[in-house]
Amino acid sequence: MAHAFYRKWRPQTFKEVVGQEHVTQTLSNAVSSSRIVHAYLFSGPRGTGKTSTARILAKAANCLAEGGDKPCAKCAMCQAIDEGRSMDLIEIDAASHTGVDDIRDLRDKISFSPSEARFKFYIIDEVHMLSSSAFNALLKTLEEPPPHAILVLATTEPHKIPGTVLSRCQRFEFRLIPFNAMINRLQDIAGREGLEVSEAALDLIARQSTGSMRDAESLLDQLASYGGPEITLDQVQTMLGLATSQAVKELVDHLATQDVAAGLGKIGHAVADGADPRQLNNDLLSYLRGLLLMKTTDRGPANMTAEQQSELARQAAHFSLDRLVRTIKLFSRAALDVKGSTQPQLPLELAFVEAVLSEESDDVPRPTPSTGPAKGPLKIAEQRGAVTPVGTSPEPPAGRPTPEETPRDETPPESRPRLGQEATEGGLAGLLDTWSEIAANINRSNRNLAAVVRDCPPVAVEEDLVTLCARSRFHKDQLESDQAKELVGKAVGESLGQRCRIRCVLTPDTPNQGTREDDLQQLTEDPVIKAGLELGGQIGTVR
C-alpha cells in the first residue's frame, strides 16, 4: 500500500526538517555534546514538524554511529525507529488518552530500563488535552525522571499547559514554514515522484497551506491523483474551488473605480462558478495586503513576479493609505461574519458596498472606467459634475464673500425669519453652493451618511422643509432613518440659519428603482420641487 506523501517523505535527519533551523541546530549540538535533557516541550502550529523532530531526536540520542552527524539513518537503531520496530520509542496521543489512569500507567512503566536502546523515549502528542489530574500525575514523573527516560511533549496550544509542567521542560517554538522553503521542498518531492508542477500551481499550493508543510504535501499528493503527472494552476483552482487571481484583481479594480454594480456582479459570477465565498474573501484580503505593502514600502510581497509587482503598483496608486486600511478592516470583519452566516456571500457583498460608501475623497484622482460613461447610483454625482474632496471648500463665486469675510449672525436661530416660498430659489442656490461643506460637517460624525448625502442634493427649500432628491432606493432608505434626518437636518439648518426638517424623494429617471406613485407625483406636480430640479440643472454642479 502506497503511503501518503507526508508520511513517505517525512524528514529523517535534522537537516531535512524544513524551516526550523533554530530548533534543529540547537538539538543537534545538544546531541553531539551529550547535553540532552530529560524533558522537552515542542509547541507551534500544526504541520510544522514537531512530531517528526521528536522522532529524529530519539534516533539521534540512540544512534550507534561513531562520530559524524547524528542520526546516521543507517545503523540498526535508526532503522528500527524508522520502521516502527523499536520498543523503546513510545508515542501517546493525549487527545484519546486524557485520563489520569493513562498517565499513571506511563509512570509505572517508565521506570523499566529500555530493551535495546540507550534511552527510552516518550512522545506525548497534543499534551494540552490531558486532564488536570493527568497533569498532576505527569508532574511527578517530570520532577524525578529515571536517567534512561526522555519525554517530549508536543502541543499546538502551550497556553493550556500548567506552569508547573512548563517550568520543567526545555521549550522550543516551531514556526510556520517560510514560503520559499515550502516551495523548494515541494519541488524536491515533485521531482522524486516524477511530477511536473507549474510554478503558478506550486505558488498556489504553498499559499493555500498557510505555513503547514504537512498540508502542502497532502495537497500535492491529492493533486497527483487528480491531475496525473502534470499539475497546472487550473487543476489546483478547480479542485479547491478557488476564485481565480484574475477575478480578485478585477474586484480590486472595481473597488478603485467605486463601481458597485460591477463589483457585486463579479462576486456573484465567481460564486456561481464554484468559488467558496470564504476563500474568495481570504484571497481578496491577501491581495489587499499586497496593496498595503506596495503603498507603504513601494514593493509588494517578495514572492511576486516583476509583472505582478507592476500591476500592484498601478492599483495602489488609486487608493489613499487611509482608504486602503479601512477597506482591509471591512473585509477582515466580513471574514469573521461569513463563518456564521446563512448567506456566506452576503457579508462579502456588504463589505464591498460599505468600502465604497465609506470612501472619503482622496487627493489621488479617481481612475476612469474603461468602457462608457459611469453607471449606477454611486456614479450620479460624477455625471452631474465634479465633486469637491471632503475637507476642502469650494471656490466662492465671483463677487461672493468668503466665509471669513462674512459677518456672523449672532441672532438666535429661533428668532431668525423663516424662509418663505418666494425665497426658495435663493435658499436652494445657497444650499447647492455649500452642499459639499454640509457633507463635510456630516462626515465628522458619520462617514457613510456623508457619502450618501453627497449624491442626494437638495431640490427644494419650502419654509423649514428641505427636500433631497435620491436617485436610488438605497440612498432614500438611508436618508429616511430618524438618525439620518436628525444629522442632516442639523447640518442643513446650520447652513440656512434656521431649524430644518428633511424629506427625500426618488427621481423618476432611474431604472429599476421602483419610484413610488407619491414620489412621482411630487416630482411632476409640486411646483417647488419642479423649480428646484430645473435650478439644479442650471447650476449643473454640486461642489
Domains in the chain, start-ordered, CATH in brackets? 5-173 (3.40.50.300), 179-240 (1.10.8.60), 245-357 (1.20.272.10), 384-393+416-539 (3.30.300.180)
Contact status, residue 90 vs residue 123, Cβ threshold 8 Å: yes
Interatomic CA distance for residues 473 and 267, integer angstroms = 22
pLDDT at 17 over 60: yes
DSSP-based three-state secondary structure for 391: coil
Judge if the upstream peptide bond of residue 71 is cis by omega within 30 degrees of 0. Answer: yes
User: Which are the contacts of 434, defined by CB distance < 8 A and separation ≥ 6?
Assistant: 394, 495
Output the nine-digit C-alpha cell for 51.
512530531
Interatomic CA distance for residues 256 and 315, integer angstroms = 7
AA identity, residue 267: I
C-alpha neighbours within 13 Å on the C-beta side of residue 80: 18
Output the nine-digit C-alpha cell for 344.
456566506
**What is the C-alpha radius of gyration for the chain, rounded to an integer number of angstroms?**
34
pLDDT at 353 over 60: yes
Residue 69 has what pLDDT?
A: 84
Interatomic CA distance for residues 124 and 51, integer angstroms = 9
Crossing angle of helices 277-297 and 321-337, in 10° steps, is: 160
Residue 186 has what pLDDT?
A: 94
- In the sheet with 149-155, reading across from the earlier edge strand, the strands are 89-93, 120-125, 149-155, 39-43, 170-173
Q: Which residue has the higher pLDDT, 302 or 315?
A: 315
Residue 133 confidence class, pLDDT cut points 50, 70, 90: confident
HEC assignment per residue over 240-291? HCCCCHHHHHHHHHHHHHCCHHHHHHHHHHHHHCCCCHHHHHHHHHHHHHHH
Residue 188 has what pLDDT?
A: 93
Residue 420 has what pLDDT?
A: 38
DSSP-based three-state secondary structure for 155: strand
What does the pLDDT look like over 154-183, one tens digit per residue? 999 999 999 999 999 999 999 999 988 999
Interatomic CA distance for residues 451 and 443, integer angstroms = 8
Output the nine-digit C-alpha cell for 162.
500548567
Q: What does the DSSP 8-state code read for residue 319? A: S
pLDDT at 348 over 80: yes
pLDDT at 529 over 80: no
Helical ranges in 338-481 per DSSP H? 345-357, 380-384, 424-443, 447-454, 473-479
pTM, 2 dp = 0.56
Contact status, residue 40 vs residue 152, Cβ threshold 8 Å: yes
Residue 226 confidence class, pLDDT cut points 50, 70, 90: confident
pLDDT at 433 over 90: no
Residue 430 confidence class, pLDDT cut points 50, 70, 90: confident
Interatomic CA distance for residues 537 and 34, integer angstroms = 89
Closest CA to 284 of 230, 334, 340, 233: 334
Residue 14 has what pLDDT?
A: 93
Q: Is residue 441 left, alpha or beta, with left meaning phi > 0 and alpha meaning psi from -120 to 50?
A: alpha
Region 327-347 average pLDDT: 84
Least confident of 365-374, 439-448, 452-461, 473-482: 365-374
319: exposed, middle or buried (Cβ count in 10 Å: 0-12, 13-18, 19+): buried
C-alpha neighbours within 13 Å on the C-beta side of residue 209: 29
